[in-house]
Every structure is written in C-alpha cells, then in structure tokens.
Amino acid sequence: MNMFLNFLIAAVFAGTPLLFGTLGEIMSEKAGHLNLGVEGMMAMGACAGFMAGLLTDSFIVALIAAFAAGMLGALIYAVLTVTFMADQNVTGLTLAIFGTGLSNFIGEYMLVNSTSSSLKLPEKITATISNINIPGLSSIPVVGQLFFQYNPFVYLGILVAILCGIYLNHTKMGLNLRAIGENPAAADAAGIKVTKIKYINILLGGGICGIGGAYSSMIICGGVWMSNSVNGLGWIAVALVIFASWSPTKAIFGSFIFGAFNILKYYFPKTWITIPSAFYDMLPFIITALVLVITSIRKSKENSQPASCGVNYFREER
C-alpha cells in the first residue's frame, strides 16, 4: 500500500513537466498552429529558469525567466509562421533543434566560466522548490500525502490547467480562439483580430512550455545543471495533446499517467524475471506510439485537432 502510494506521488512528480508542455501545445494548436518546437521551448525554459535561479536565488525570478525564454522561442516560431507564413512543421522542428542546442550551449558556457566543477542551485531556492507541507491538510493520512505534499510547480501546473480550461470553454476570448483554430477566415470575417490572437496564444503556450522546462532542470535533475535535461519530454507532450483530445483538464490526468510510465522501473515489483531497465526507459515512448495508433483508428469530428491546424492563414488568399 505504502509502495503504491509512493508510486502515485512519484507519478505526479514525473508527470508535471509533461503537463506544462501539453498545456502550452494545446494553446498553440487551438490557435491553429502545430508547434513541434515544444522540446526546444522547454529546453530554453530549462536553461533560463535554472540560470536565473542560480544567479538570483529567487524562485519567482526563475519562473519568470523560464516563462520569458519559452515565449522567446515561441516568438521566433510565431514570427515565422504567422507573419512570414513559413511551413509549421519545419519551423517547429528547427526550433526544437535550435532551442536544445542553445540551452546546452549556454549551460556549458556557464559551466566553463564558473569556478566549480558543476552548477548547483543555491540553498534558498532549493528550499522553496522542495515539497511544501500544507499545514493541517498534509497530515491527513494517505489523502494528505497524496494531495498536499508537492512542490509549488505541481500546484501551479494544475492551476494553469484549470485556468486554460475555463479560458477555452467558458469565455468569449476562448470562443474567439477556438473559432480561429477551426476556421481563421470565418473568424476574420466575423471581426476577430486573427493575427493578434494567434500571437498571444502561441506566446502564452511557449511560456507555459518554458516553465515545464524549468521543472526538468530544477527539480528532476535535483538542482544540478545537466545537459539535455528535457530529454524528449517535449515530444511526448506533443503526443499527449492528442491523448488528451485538446482538453486542458484531460491533460492533467494524461500527464500523470505518462509520468507513471516514466518511473515504473523503480516501483515495479521485483519478481522472478528481471526486466532490463532499457525496456522501462522505452516504455513511455512505446505507449505514446500506441496511443497515436489507437487515437487514429477511432476518429471523431469533435474532440479532434482544430481544423485549420498546420495551415497558415493569409487573408487575401484567393
């Protein structure tokens, strides 16, 4: 029982960066822009968040830096695809490669120029981002452990997911955004400022991805800088969007389920057969591939990708 509880808690930990990445990508896809650069934006956020934390010892500054870095990546993407109407696939891929490269580059640059052999977050910030016990609630047996003993990122992630859900489905701005993703020409003719809203949401999405990156560099790597800390999470996030059928609230559960696959190897009961650890490592990717196949087999008109996703919009197109 205790083992299982620990497993669930660990799944939430491992799933949180995926949650941010997935939410960010949902925002972008709802605006009609398939951004394959999540991996790159997360990497940029990972680097900026970590370095800002390292230099200022402030969690808030680190968060803002990660958000800004993710937004910067998204800005490159938005300028190219919205204004210059470049191919979304290629631009996103390039952003993924560029962002990862830039993040690793800056990481190594900081390492070479530092006096110590590794970059380690200072103590005040590691204290802030360690698990908080919510007074009163966290001491409730089981429930307290399961719900009220996480680091601030986890709560932030769930909050962002709920806010995104409300924004998309219950506000006028959300309605406008959905219309753009489905049919930008119709939205434009109805008087919605298509370009502006596309920019806002792509950038917002990038910022959210950036925070997910900060999670991987600051929490998963235990406060020590490591290259490639995002390590494919961004790609899984893109796939998770499909799994969550473009719904922010479903993304919460999707992320945690995938988080569980990520850490299964540490919790799977040691039975008479030993499963090689490489198998566990590839498990999330195998599951993602399976999910892709299964969702493609059952298609539905609603709960599917926004119709204009992947196609750039030009008002004077004839």
Per CB under 8 A, contacts with other proteins among 24-53 are: 36
| Shorter beta-carbon distance to other proteins: residue 127 or 166 | 166
Does the footprint of other proteins cover residue 214 (CB under 8 A)?
no
| Shorter beta-carbon distance to other proteins: residue 8 or 257 | 257
Span from 124-132, 168-176, 204-212, 253-261 in contact with other proteins (CB under 8 A)? 168-176
Span from 14-22, 94-102, 216-224, 260-268 in contact with other proteins (CB under 8 A)? 94-102
Does the footprint of other proteins cover residue 191 (CB under 8 A)?
yes
Cα–Cα nearest to 44, from 173, 197, 209:
209
Does the footprint of other proteins cover residue 268 (CB under 8 A)?
no
List 64, 119, 185, 226, residue binding other proteins (CB under 8 A) = 185
Question: Which pair of tokens denotes residue 224?
Answer: 């020590």
Rounded to a whole number of angstroms, the distance between the first and last alpha carbons of the chain is 64
Cα–Cα nearest to 126, from 193, 241, 26, 224:
224
CB 73, CB 129: distance < 8 Å: no
Does the footprint of other proteins cover residue 245 (CB under 8 A)?
no
| Shorter beta-carbon distance to other proteins: residue 154 or 250 | 250
Report the nearest approach of other proteins to the CB of residue 145 (Å).
32
- DSSP 8-class letter at 120: B
Contacts of range 78-85, beta carbons closer than 8 Å, 24 or more positions apart: 78/33, 78/198, 78/199, 78/202, 78/203, 81/33, 81/312, 82/33, 82/195, 82/198, 82/199, 82/202, 82/312, 83/195, 85/312, 85/314
Residues of span 215-244 touching other proteins by CB under 8 A: 232, 235, 238-239, 242
136 CB-near residues (< 8 Å, 6+ apart): none
Distances (CA, A) of 237 to 183, 190, 244, 296, 310: 25, 33, 10, 17, 17
Does the footprint of other proteins cover residue 85 (CB under 8 A)?
yes
Cα–Cα nearest to 242, from 38, 22, 92:
22
Report the nearest approach of other proteins to the CB of residue 73 (Å).
11
| Shorter beta-carbon distance to other proteins: residue 129 or 203 | 203
Span from 135-143, 152-160, 186-194, 204-212 in contact with other proteins (CB under 8 A)? 186-194
By CB under 8 A, the count of residues binding other proteins is: 72
Residues of span 276-315 touching other proteins by CB under 8 A: 276-279, 281-282, 285-286, 288-289, 292-293, 296-297, 299, 301-302, 307, 314-315
